[in-house]
Amino acid sequence: MMTIALQGAEFFAYHGFYPEEQKLGCRFLVDVEVDFSPKHDFSDDNINNTVDYEKVYNIACEEMKHPRKLIETVAEAIIEKIVEKYPFVRSIRVAVKKLNPPLIGKIACSSVTINYQPAK
């Protein structure tokens, strides 16, 4: 089994339950880990034999552009798109962190993590 990962991909987006969050926007960090069994060995040095982390980043980037009330919905959408592109994945872990959420006290971030494994 192999894992590709993106750690701390930063985005400015308009996710949030409250209307002012969707109007003002906020900074987010996204972490993605994808576990898979390679279809081929890597002796031919071919990117098509792996999960391309640039494509995974582009998926996250595209999903962050669609405002949603819940960061859970964002994480699920990222997972769905990765599974569509790479149906051979064994598991996916996506964490979406909202930096400096609008709370009374000082909070570094709020976050949600979703773990996905295909049904057997």
Residues annotated catalytic, as ranges: 98
Percentages (nearest 5) of helix, strand, coil residues in the chain: 30, 35, 35
State residue 57 phi and psi, 5-degree precision: -60, -45
How many Å apart are CA 67 and CA 89, to the nearest integer?
A: 27
